[in-house]
Structure 1
Amino acid sequence: MKNRILAALTLGLLLSACGQSREEELKEQHSKGAELVEDKAAMAKGLGDALQKDGKDAARSITQGVGGVMKGMAQGVDFVEADFKIQLSESAKSKQLKAERAVLQEKNADGQKGLKVYVLSEQAFNGKLQLRALDEKGNELGRSQKVEQTLAADDANYVDFRFDAATPLSRVAQFVIYSTQ
């Protein structure tokens, strides 16, 4: 048993004598760290040199691209196809009008919100139309201004209905078109 312990101690001493000292390990780690920093510094310097050389052109290109995206987004916000229910009152049905789709519009110069509705007529129509906004319980949230409209028989047109800026269009569950004289 003593021989085994003595052999294990001798083996341990030999292994530690063959390995690096703590000081040598620290020097090696320091050397690796210095190389890593030199590599990263060289990469940063190269990046800086490239930006100085081509940076203005790259920035101009990026700015033009972002400008194009923003312009497209602004146009998209102005004309968002709305998924609203558009009903017809009895007065509009009696004039043989139909409504198929709507396009939500941002506020105009007077701060009025709008909805353009594609209105079709089977027979000639000349009169005023009004769009009323209702919530999910059928309560009225607002009325558009009355719009003078002339449609020939078998005709169609987008009609621009404008609401007061205070009308909460985000709460609207359905719109109803009325024919008023």
Structure 2
Amino acid sequence: MRKLLSIVTLSLLLTSCMSTEEKKIKAEEEGNALVSIKSKLVKGAGDALKTDGKEALESASEGVSEAFKGITSGYDKSINQAKIVPDSTFSKTFEIGRTQKVYSDTTNSKKVSVYLVSNENFEGKIKLKAFDQSDKEIGRSTMKLKVEEDEAQFFDFEFDNRTPLLQATYFMISGKPTVQ
């Protein structure tokens, strides 16, 4: 019985052991299989880029565009934006669009630029007052203007150089037509 067991064990060992050549062939086959799988993945990715790549790039471009819009929006909400509060009569005559505080180091000028759209004809004076966080007036600018109904443009209200526009938290705008 021992002899039989020894013979069976020896034959199993001989048949289960691979020669070096057989090991190399098996390793090569496994390597070829892995390369084949990876190349199919790369081919699949390439095919996907051909068909879906345009959509992916369009989506990425839209994302970049939205990021730039966010930058612009952030700039609009930054320290340069001027919060303009119209009085009740002014609101009937004008709509207020984009606003901006403008500081020039070269000319030492300070102004607030306001885009106005007229709802009706207007000829008279417009006054823009600057207020700080304590609701105290810190400066004012007045200009004469004559606009036709549905006209729109930027108007620059010049302030005295000593006006601390950086401290202005809001501006009050009012208009008084010239008596005819």
- Give the alignment's TM-score, normalised by structure 2: 0.49
Question: TM-score scaled to structure 1, two decimals?
Answer: 0.49
